[in-house]
Amino acid sequence: MNYKETPKMMVLKGLLQIIVCYILYRYGDMYGYQIKKRLEEINKRRLPQGLIYVTLKRMVNNGIIESYNSGGKKYYRLTEGGKAFLFNHVEVLKKFQLITAEILGYLEEYKLKDSKPNDSRS
């Protein structure tokens, strides 16, 4: 594990393919720079360009998205397999949301009390 990465970047890398699928599903075909800008809007910070294009290439190779050229730009579109990939992650995302809410609730309570509360569940 690369401990120099920010926690936000580590989480983003794990979700990047799902987020790219969401962007293409919601907004339609886009070229790489447009996808990068949408990702940065979601992430609220700039992202390394290499990260985006490596991910897009991997997704093309895995059949999640496909690329085509138009007007001198390389566009990406979600495949049927990509739609299935996105919707297959709905339950995982719901579970992730619940786990995240529990962790945040606990940590916010801990921060407010400024001491670790006892956990009667262990």
Please report whether residue 57 resides in a domain: yes
Q: Which domain does 73 fall in, by range? A: 7-88
pLDDT of residue 6: 64
pTM of the model: 0.76
DSSP strand pairing (30-31 vs 65-70): unpaired
Domain presence at residue 50: yes
Tens digit of pLDDT per residue, the chain (122 long)?
455 666 556 666 678 999 999 999 999 999 999 999 999 998 888 888 788 999 999 999 999 999 999 999 999 999 999 999 999 998 888 988 898 889 888 888 877 676 555 555 54
Residue 24 lies in a domain: yes
CATH of the domain at 70: 1.10.10.10
Q: Is 105 helix (H, G, I), strand (E, B) or coil?
A: helix
Q: Can you read off the two tokens belonging to residue 8?
A: 């936000």
14 in Cβ contact with 43 (< 8 Å): no
Residue 120 within any structural domain of the chain? no
The tally of domains found in the chain comes to 1
Could you tell me if residue 1 is inside a domain?
Answer: no
Q: What is the pLDDT of residue 69?
A: 97
CB-based contacts of 18: which residues, under 8 Å, 6+ apart? 85, 86, 89, 93
Measured CA to CA, the distance from residue 21 to residue 28 in angstroms comes to 10
